[in-house]
């Protein structure tokens, strides 16, 4: 399987090229530079592998939730590349990719991925790592920390920027045995989840690949509030 993966949904920009069990990647934490970085990164990993886009089986991308601008960039770049090369797309949940990274780091199979959605809210889900990859135990949602929910367990691991922003509100409720509060989504994890989805028939045509925002309100209308 030859799969290109992209992520621009947080402050970092990353690209990965999965070749069976080998994975070539680029990662750079560079806020607001995603548009300038992502295509050169794609060119670099393809050149390193000696491949062209048309040699690939599919392109996986982080379809959200996350930064509105970042989600749009990932979707648009993936659509453009796939359209030009005649490839299908594999949309990957950022919360599943985040959980895959947490599993790779800790071996934990029950994870609570949380991304800071700003405006006092989280992008949140409960995830289990199965034999075929991560699966959602709850719906993806945007919620304030007091409304975050998960099945009762004593082996949760928290992962993501939402834990960094709201640790004091979340930790007493879920009592995770470990928290990776500064963990970032990486295209290598998007590639892992995307490969499982592709093998299970989860690829879609370009026109069917859509971003997932979860929140309709793009920005709070108070002075100085940044876009999510």
Residue 68: CA atoms inside 13 Å, Cβ hemisphere, count?
11
d(C-alpha 115, C-alpha 101), whole Å: 14
Long-range contacts of range 149-157, CB-CB < 8 Å, 24 or more positions apart? 150/112, 150/126, 150/174, 151/126, 153/110, 155/108, 155/110, 156/108, 156/110, 156/111, 156/112, 157/102, 157/106, 157/108, 157/110, 157/111, 157/112
* pLDDT tens for each residue of the chain, 228 residues long: 999 999 999 999 999 999 987 999 999 999 989 999 999 999 999 999 999 999 999 999 999 999 999 999 999 999 999 999 999 999 999 999 999 999 999 999 999 999 999 999 999 999 999 999 999 999 999 999 999 999 999 999 999 999 999 999 999 999 999 999 989 999 999 999 999 999 999 999 999 999 999 986 444 433 333 333
Domains of the chain: 2-93+185-208 (3.30.420.40), 95-180 (3.30.420.40)
- pTM, two decimals, is 0.93
d(C-alpha 93, C-alpha 141), whole Å: 12
> What is the helix, strand, coil percentage profile of the chain, to 5?
35, 30, 35
Examine residue 65 and say whether the peptide bond preceding it is cis (omega within 30 degrees of 0): yes
d(C-alpha 116, C-alpha 145), whole Å: 10
């Amino acid at each position: 399987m030859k799969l290109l993966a992209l992520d621009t949904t947080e402050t970092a920009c990353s690209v990965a090229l999965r070749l069976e069990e080998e994975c070539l990647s680029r990662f750079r934490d560079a806020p607001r530079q995603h548009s300038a970085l992502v295509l050169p990164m794609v060119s670099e990993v393809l050149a390193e592998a000696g491949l062209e886009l048309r040699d690939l089986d599919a392109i996986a991308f982080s379809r959200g939730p996350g930064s509105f601008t970042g989600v749009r960039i990932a979707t648009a770049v993936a659509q453009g590349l796939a359209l030009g090369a005649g490839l299908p797309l594999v949309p990957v949940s950022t919360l599943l990719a985040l959980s895959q990274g947490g599993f790779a780091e800790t071996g934990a199979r029950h994870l609570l991925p949380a991304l800071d959605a700003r405006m006092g809210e989280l992008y949140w889900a409960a995830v289990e790592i199965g034999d075929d990859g991560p699966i959602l135990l709850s719906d993806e949602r945007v919620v304030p920390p007091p409304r975050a929910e998960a099945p009762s367990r004593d082996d949760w691991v928290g992962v993501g920027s939402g834990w960094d922003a709201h640790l004091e509100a979340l930790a007493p409720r879920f009592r995770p045995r470990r928290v990776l509060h500064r963990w970032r989504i990486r295209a290598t994890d998007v590639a892992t989840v995307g490969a499982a989805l592709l093998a299970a028939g989860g690829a879609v045509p370009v026109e069917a690949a859509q971003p997932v925002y979860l929140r309709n309100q793009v920005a709070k209308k108070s002075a100085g509030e940044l876009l999510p």
